[in-house]
Structure 1
Amino acid sequence: MGAQLRVYKRRIRSVTATKKITKAMEMIAASRVVKAQRKVAASTPYATELTRAVTAVGTGSNTRHPLTTEADNPTRAAVLLLSSDRGLAGAFNSNAIKAAEQLTAKLEADGKQVDTYIVGRRGVAHYNFRERTISGQWTGFTDEPEYADAKQVAAPLIEAIEKDTAEGGVDELHIVYTEFVSMMTQTAVQAQLLPLKLDEVTSAASAAGAAESPAKDEILPLYDFEPSAEDVLDALLPRYVESRIYNALLQSAASKHAATRRAMKSATDNAGELIETLSRLANAARQAEITQEISEIVGGAGALADATAGSDS
């Protein structure tokens, strides 16, 4: 066997092994994205009813609550970036990071200081490599997030929005995540969570996957609050933030699995095409070797016949 043919065969074995791995990863991602979609659908009723409750309390009272009242001159904002712990997902992480950087640049252009909070090892690694300050980071649960993880992420953010900026608090809370539109489409989304804009609560619920939402012209009932509207807001709005972050984590997880499935399918298809190309080259090299061997045999036989004829004469 010639050296060139051995090289082709070695590359075919290597690409074949890679193809098996990418195919397996594609199947795993396909099963996980289905589970993630079910979790997104399961979180819809809670998000819908909680959104209705927050809307009713916010519009039915004149209480100036720090979670619903915008600062007169906001000077500090927090940005929560949702990335993944693992790669091999195409442009999933890069799109989310790019959206977060664009949002940060916009806030800084408005004269606001930005505190960055990151979920996922990929986002943390990106900011650490560029020596950027991270106010908070969480890793290890992006593939299958639970509500407890959302509460863990939301706690310091709610605490920061309730503090005065002079004490290290923030005036605004923004979130950047990847919205799951379909198996083929996932979009990086920027959204302001706090202060809560009541006129945008309905659209936020729809973005979270709500099947039903109150109409713009709907007349909400009047409520009497006991002990007070502020106490109700203190109880409801942190839950609202947690549910929004949880839904964003689920959306991001579903998007990541869909992106991984698509990337691994593309890698598997490319590996198959490469194997076909290498097989054709290997066959051509084998044919060239056979042709060369036949030519050598024919040439040797001809030389032997000439030598025999010369000796007889």
Structure 2
Amino acid sequence: MESLQKIKHRINSVNSTKKITKAMELVATAKFAKIKNKFNDVDVYYQNVQKLFINLIKNSNQDIDKLLNEHSWNFSTKRNLYIVFGSDLGLCGAYNSEMYKTIKRTITDEDILIVIGSKLLSLVNKDGTMHVIQTLTQIGDNPSYDIAQIISQKIYDVLQISLLKSVKLIYTHYVNPIKADPVVKEIFPISLDTIQEMEGQQSKDDAMDPDSFEPNPDVILQNSFTIFFEASIYNALTNAKLSEMSQRRTAMEQASDNAEDLIEELKIEYNSSRQAKITQEITEIVNGSSS
């Protein structure tokens, strides 16, 4: 049985750790609430952009999948471009490891990646088999729209030099405070399945009159890809950051609860050891007086 001094030292040590995890839980809760308010606005913006984009596609005669690849070099193998979203900081449970597992299940040796988040980047670099063409780290707890613009521009740059099979986002979709799932979302090409999926999220009232587009849907569509890509990326980025904060808050809450349970166990052990020591001292006194 450990000495009383050692047990007391362990109690103080765990208590100090609990204070840290509790403080981190409170910080994560405050950041989560702030991003949640922003998330609602971003989601509304994304839904409006998506609605407009669908109406443009339905009223346009252009082959939109060839529109962006018009001047591309034709490589022997078409590749997929994935934009993957992780975190810059740890202590958020299985957030980055689950993202990494989804990436490993999804990509092939021919695919190329844009990685966001230094923690996820370290996992990707350890693998050594993935082709990373750009990284974005230290984007902060409140990422700006500039990040989405940078990624969107990179997509355009890649499309100008290489025929891509697709452009997909892999991010953690926020569902509720206790549930967030990694998802793979295709944003290029705009396939029939993608259009039907987008239409399924809209009502009949969202349909727009073709005459309302000036000068015409074809011209507007050609200039609206940037907005659609940026809105899609910003929506994914906000989802990812909200999920990160939610999982960090949950992880710190569980750590605080575990620390409290461990303190209770150590207190019981301390009291048992103290009682045993007192009993032993009394026994020694009684035996001494008897002799």
Q: Do both proteins adopt the same fold according to a TM-score greater than 0.5, normalized to the shorter chain?
A: yes
Share of identical aligned residues, percent? 28
Report what 1:283 is aligned to. 271
* Corresponding residue of 1:172: 166
Match of 2:98 in 1: 95
Give the aligned CA root-mean-square deviation in angstroms: 2.7
Residue in 1 that maps onto 2:134: 136
Q: CA deviation at 1:193?
A: 0.9
Q: How does 1:217-236 map to 2 (within 5 A)?
A: 220-223=208-211, 229-236=217-224
2:25 and 2:224 map into 1 onto residues whose CA distance is 40
Contact 2:53 2:224 in 1 (8 A): yes
Q: How far does the alpha carbon of each residue in 1:186-224 deviate from its partner, in whole angstroms, 9 at most, with x for none?
A: 111111111123553474598xxxxx7234x97652248
Instruction: Report the residue type matching 1:213 in the other structure.
Output: Q
Q: What SS does structure 2 have at the residue aligned with 1:43?
A: helix
Alignment partner, residue 248 of structure 2:
260
- The AA in structure 2 aligned to 1:271 is A
SS at match of 2:29: helix
Matching of residues 97-246 of structure 1 within 5 Å = 97-105=100-108, 113-132=110-129, 133-141=131-139, 143-165=141-163, 170-197=164-191, 199-201=193-195, 203-204=197-198, 213-215=202-204, 220-223=208-211, 229-246=217-234
Q: TM-score, normalised by structure 1?
A: 0.83
Counterpart of 1:298, as a letter, is V
Larger radius of gyration: 1
Contact 1:84–1:93 (8 Å) recurs in 2: yes
Which residue of structure 2 lines up, in the alignment, with residue 40 of structure 1?
39
2:113, 2:58 → 1: CA distance?
Answer: 31
Q: What amino acid maps onto 1:146 in structure 2?
A: S
Partner of 1:209: none
Structure 2: any 5+ residue segments left out of the alignment?
71-75
Find the aligned partners of 1:19 and 1:245 in 2 and give their Cα distance. 37
- 1:102-140 per-position Cα deviation (integer Å, ceiling 9, x unaligned): 1104xx6xxxx2001110011110111222331111011
Q: Distance in 2 between matches of 1:67 and 1:261?
A: 45
For structure 1, the residue ranges without an aligned partner over 5 or more in a row are 207-211, 304-313
Aligned mates of 1:228, 1:162 — CA distance in 2 = 25
Inter-partner Cα distance in structure 1 for 2:16 and 2:194: 51
AA aligned opposite 1:117: I
Distance in structure 2 (CA, Å) of the matches to 1:164 and 1:229: 27
One-letter amino acid of the counterpart of residue 209, structure 2 = P
Per the TM alignment, residue 52 of structure 1 is displaced from its structure 2 partner at its CA by 2.0
Indicate if the aligned counterparts of 1:78 and 1:116 stay in contact, CA closer than 8 A.
yes
